[in-house]
Chains A and B, each alone.
Chain A
């Protein structure tokens, strides 16, 4: 943390700031100098979603001088259950604009820098270079590895948080002597094996818990006070409300921060994470499973064909929307194979096409000769065939 706590010319606090931050100023661990350090600090928040919302709000309240936000998304109604920086009136608006408005309302002196883009290998180093610390509030493996590698290459601490259902992880990566995300996980899981939040769900409050832990770590790094989460992985289990801590070590063989790094510049992270570009995927099979578009499925239904459609979503999803498939939730499929006719073409669907692809592959491995996946699932059906089918 040396670069952050080195003597630098610190900005003076205004009269307004002296009263605004009075509860900080009387803390010996913050005090006048600490508050000036916060004012001088430049923090990049990657994502203004579940983790980014509480993170950005608390950093703004705490008196961080410059807050960079990276996002390209727009606010959706399904975000509001957890992304507390956005409000109902913001639905359809750019998350960056919505977030900036709330942050400036909270703290007009805050300098907000909006990066209206998807962080990529092409722009990450350029975006990161002006910041002291990066807080990773992303939702996907390619961006996590990208943020990690860019932080290691530029020597910037990466304050990490991640959530799934009721469970969260937090740590501080890529400090000078500490481990990085790749020391912990050298490789990402193959696509499809780990469900996303959209498929697995997430307790709306959990990103609040984890994002506030990230904000706390950012502040501590800037102040150079306390024991940061370096070399420690904090596990949050909200369902049992249990916090545990595991030791993380810097891996001497780490491909990016180890003794003989093989990753010395940013790579193609989509490819690294096994994600095939859309164009190459358009060919009508994926891992040996033929893909059917919703339009083609509808055409076959309209033509009077009795399509054999299996819906592998959960019962509560079925209650929200369905397109006439027989419901067998994905985890029940292995023990309910007897209910699925081997002699027919089995067409599997889910919400987005991801779970059903996994189940289609499972059925193929289980000896089903003709299995087809509905590309895009319910979401595509709602977009392209019938908008009255409720998206969720």
Chain B
């Protein structure tokens, strides 16, 4: 499946905007992603291994938190995961 990496996290994924992984579930896909790119781990997960509150993960166009099976949801090669962190920019900065 394809995992889309948002701009703020690309430096931790070798600059790539998308990463392909072979996985059968969402949690396996995220595990493989952070195995290949260990720097991503602390940005995505808390020390207890929970997804951080300011990072949302979407399975296709649906928030993983609202899927019946959540991160255990089965995935195919055609599915996508999108990591969407909060961004604040817009005004003066």
Contacts from A to B (Cβ < 8 Å): 47, 49-52, 73, 76, 79, 83, 136-141, 144, 161-167, 169, 184-189, 193-198, 200, 202, 207, 210, 233, 235, 237, 239-240, 244-249, 331, 334
| Pairs of residues from A and B, 4 with the lowest C-beta to C-beta distance, nearest first | A139-B91, A197-B93, A49-B91, A47-B91
The chain B residue sitting closest to A160, CB to CB, is B90
Chain A residues positioned under 8 Å from B82 (CB to CB) = 235, 244, 246
The chain B residue sitting closest to A76, CB to CB, is B92
Would A162 and B62 count as touching, CB distance under 8 A? no
Chain A residues positioned under 8 Å from B47 (CB to CB) = none
Residue in contact with A141 in the complex, picked from B8, B52, B88, CB distance below 8 Å: B88
Residue in contact with B91 in the complex, picked from A50, A184, A237, CB distance below 8 Å: A50
Query: Given contacts A164-B7, A235-B84, A247-B62, could you give 16 more A-B pairs where the C-beta distance is less than 8 Å?
Result: A49-B92, A139-B88, A139-B89, A139-B91, A140-B88, A163-B87, A164-B8, A188-B54, A188-B86, A189-B54, A189-B85, A198-B93, A200-B8, A233-B84, A240-B17, A246-B82
Chain B residues positioned under 8 Å from A169 (CB to CB) = 84, 87
* A-B contact list, 29 entries, CB within 8 Å: A47-B91, A49-B90, A49-B91, A50-B89, A50-B90, A73-B92, A139-B89, A139-B90, A140-B88, A140-B91, A141-B88, A162-B88, A163-B90, A164-B87, A184-B86, A185-B53, A186-B53, A188-B54, A189-B52, A189-B86, A196-B88, A197-B93, A237-B17, A246-B61, A246-B62, A246-B63, A246-B84, A247-B58, A249-B66
Chain B residues positioned under 8 Å from A137 (CB to CB) = 90-91
